[in-house]
Amino acid sequence: MLQRVAIVAVIVMVGVTAFAAPANVAGHWSVSLELGSIVGHPTLDLKQDGEKLTGTYRGRYGASPLEGAVKENQLGFTVTMTAEGQETSGYFSGTVDGDRMSGSVEFEGAGDGTWSATRTPPKKG
């Protein structure tokens, strides 16, 4: 009986460690974005509740909401904004490595590109 309890305990421990917690991405991020010949430097203010990701993307066209998810060290989020009078969306996907993250981006009407970001202290004021 004691041997069965020990085996069950090991199985439970292995099962728990198989599902790693999502990376912590909450905070302020400085971004470098390249879409073909377009280069931008927006910022992200991310809020995280478990795997759920919300926040604000601030770039050339002002502040826009974002929503997405983080699973282990992978993240994806969508930004919806009005650019040049047209509503457009961008989908960001990438990998988190501590205070850095990077990946690919697809913007409606602007094409595909790459992005990278570094976590920074928020601006005061």
Domain 21-120: which topology? Lipocalin (2.40.128)
Three-state SS for 13? helix
pLDDT tens-digit profile of 93-116?
A: 999 999 999 999 998 877 899 999
* CB neighbour list of residue 111: distance below 8 Å, 6 or more residues apart: 35, 36
- pTM value is 0.80
- The amino acid at residue 6 is A
| From 31-35, 78-82, 107-111, the region with the lowest mean pLDDT | 107-111
Angle at 117 between CA 114 and CA 118, to 5 degrees: 160
> Is the confidence at residue 74, as pLDDT, over 80?
yes
Mean pLDDT within 43-63: 96
Q: Where are the alpha helices (DSSP H) in the chain?
A: 2-18
Instruction: Give the start-to-end residue ranges of the domains of the chain.
Output: 21-120
